[in-house]
Amino acid sequence: MFRAAISAIALLLLASSATVADEVAVTVYNSNLGVVSETRSLDLEKGNGRLAFRDVPERIDASSVRFEVVDRGRKVAILEQNYVYDLVSPEQLYTKYIDQTIEMIDKEGHLYSGTLLAFSSGAVTLQDTAGKVRIIGLDNITEVDFPLLPEGLITRPTLFWLYASDFSGQADCNVSYQTTGLNWEAEYVGRLDKDDTSLHLSGWASINNTSGKTYKDAKLKLIAGDINRAQRGPAALKGSARTMEMAMAAPDFQEKAFFEYHMYTLPRSATLANKEIKQLSLFEPSTVKVKKVYLYQPDQNPTDVTVKVEFVNSTGDGLGIPLPAGRVRLFKADDDGAMILLGEDRVDHTPKDEEVSLTVGTAFDIVAEEKILDHSRISAKVEERTYQIELRNRKDTDITVKVAKNFWGFWEIVSANYEYEKKESNVVHFSVPVKANSTARLDLRVRFTSR
């Protein structure tokens, strides 16, 4: 236990304080950034004065602070700002009291008094008035007396302002600033139907607050999009214990286009507690038409066939809304109703009417293999290769496998036993049907020309 007879530091003696916000608005971005706007009633003095603006986040960007008086007929100018974040802690008190006198009481009631010479996490070194030096283990100490709170230590992060005012009295003032430690992303949950032809999709905004401050009853906005930010030196991210709050209710947000981004506004106030993840519904759950795709990419994985779920984000297919970037979890119900996780993937910011392709996992009952059956040189600059891709379907249903084959340099397909589509300069897609419990083979011959 620590007991301190604490006197305020000189700056606090001179400064009035502003601690409670009348109104708070928070805008959260996808990029570990929040913009906070607070309206507080401040007591100001005419002429030059000092003000302690407390209860700011630990991770505030002090250089971003903007101050204005709501009443335009009054004028207040901030002449100087100091952001103080050297907070009170036992370690800080010991460090600040090096070469000063403290008193300590152990479990048996013995009193130790002397000049603090050194401190570590497990012991302190004291020198008494007779010059005797003693090392005392902190695990046996129950009470420590520090005569004063060392100058510069405060209980919470604070902005100290030197201001000039043309009036005395109370005034509503708006203070806005940026802070890291606020972030959000979309979380989607999709449930496939029995035939894998439709997806019941819901979306959540998952907001993480590790900024070091709780924003009570805040007006909340979320920005979906990638904003450009000027580069600064790297800042250390603090870890935190996290709790989760889920608002299992109807969709909360109102969405609209804003500049080149999309904005989601919560029409009611919400509290963003520090070290908490809050989840709020983004949109009404929708049922979307989907197709299941088997994809084989021999140049990336020579044996596995990937399973994908694809859909068009259009009104006609059941959705047609902007989808912020985030994680998608896909489930399917068993015959007894139990929900089984099929896989998860991430989706980028996706406008309406664009295609969404989600990787679910690897097909268990489909085996693929690629072989080069022939490699011949036609001339010094021309060669040909014959490929055979074997697709073995061990399922009891017919399937179609999309084969995506990569080539290099200057090439042309001389022959192929399935039709193909050139997707890019070096990528060709084949659609190969494979009967149930059967094998299909794709044979193609490709000519490569070097220059």
pLDDT at 13 over 50: no
The set of residues, in sequence order, having a beta carbon less than 8 Å from that of 372 and lying 6+ positions away, is 385, 386, 387
Handedness of CA 285, 290, 292, 297 (dihedral sign): negative
Q: What is the pLDDT of residue 87?
A: 57
The radius of gyration of the chain's CA atoms, rounded to the nearest angstrom, is 33
Pick the closest to residue 160 from 302, 18, 258, 23 (CA basis). 18
Rounded Cα–Cα distance for residues 357 and 86 (Å): 49
Q: What is the pLDDT of residue 152?
A: 55
Pick the closest to residue 61 from 145, 154, 155, 181 (CA basis). 181
The set of residues, in sequence order, having a beta carbon less than 8 Å from that of 248 and lying 6+ positions away, is none
Rounded Cα–Cα distance for residues 282 and 307 (Å): 27
Mean pLDDT rounded to a whole number for the chain: 88
Q: Are strands 399-406 and 291-296 parallel, antiparallel or unpaired?
A: parallel
Q: What is the pLDDT of residue 71?
A: 85
pLDDT at 240 over 60: no
Most confident of 45-59, 224-238, 433-447: 433-447
pLDDT at 330 over 70: yes
Query: Residue with structure tokens 């101050």?
Result: 67
pLDDT at 250 over 70: no
Q: What is the pLDDT of residue 145?
A: 86
Q: What is the pLDDT of residue 291?
A: 97
Q: Which band of pLDDT confidence, cut at 50, 70 and 90, is reported for residue 120? A: confident
Rounded Cα–Cα distance for residues 337 and 123 (Å): 60
pLDDT at 234 over 50: no
C-beta contacts of 62-67 below 8 A and 24+ residues apart = 62/159, 62/177, 64/176, 64/177, 64/178, 65/159, 65/175, 65/176, 65/177, 66/175, 66/176, 66/177, 67/161, 67/173, 67/174, 67/175
Percent of the chain with pLDDT over 90: 73
pLDDT (tens digit per residue) in 31-73: 999 999 999 999 999 999 999 998 899 999 999 999 999 988 8
For the chain, helix (H) and strand (E) counts, in that order, are: 2, 33
Q: What is the pLDDT of residue 147?
A: 75
pLDDT at 243 over 60: no
Average pLDDT over residues 9-21: 49
The set of residues, in sequence order, having a beta carbon less than 8 Å from that of 364 and lying 6+ positions away, is none
Q: Say if CB 203 and CB 188 are below 8 A apart.
A: yes
Q: What is the pLDDT of residue 10?
A: 38
Q: Which residues of 283-305 are buried (b: 16+ CB within 10 A; e: fewer)?
A: beeeebebebbbbbbbeeeeebb
In the sheet with 410-416, reading across from the earlier edge strand, the strands are 366-377, 382-393, 438-449, 410-416
Question: Which two three-digit tokens encode residue 383?
Answer: 């060669």
Distances (CA, A) of 354 to 226, 325, 382: 18, 14, 40
Read off φ and ψ for residue 222, nearest 5 degrees: -120, 135
3-state DSSP of 232-289: CCCCCCCCCCCEEEECCCCCCCEEEEECCEEEEEEEEEEEECCCEEEEEEEEEEEEEE
Q: What is the pLDDT of residue 121?
A: 73
Q: What is the pLDDT of residue 229?
A: 86
pLDDT (tens digit per residue) in 251-273: 579 999 999 999 999 999 999 99
Q: What is the pLDDT of residue 88?
A: 58
Q: Are strands 133-137 and 123-127 parallel, antiparallel or unpaired?
A: antiparallel
Question: Which two three-digit tokens encode residue 67?
Answer: 């101050």
What structural domains and CATH numbers belong to the chain?
2-87+154-179 (no CATH), 90-146 (2.30.30.100), 366-449 (2.60.40.290)
Q: What is the pLDDT of residue 153?
A: 55
pTM for the structure as a whole: 0.79
Lowest mean pLDDT among 4-18, 62-76, 204-218, 333-347: 4-18
Q: Say if CB 64 and CB 165 are below 8 A apart.
A: no
Q: What is the pLDDT of residue 230?
A: 83
pLDDT (tens digit per residue) in 282-316: 998 999 999 999 999 999 999 999 999 999 999 99
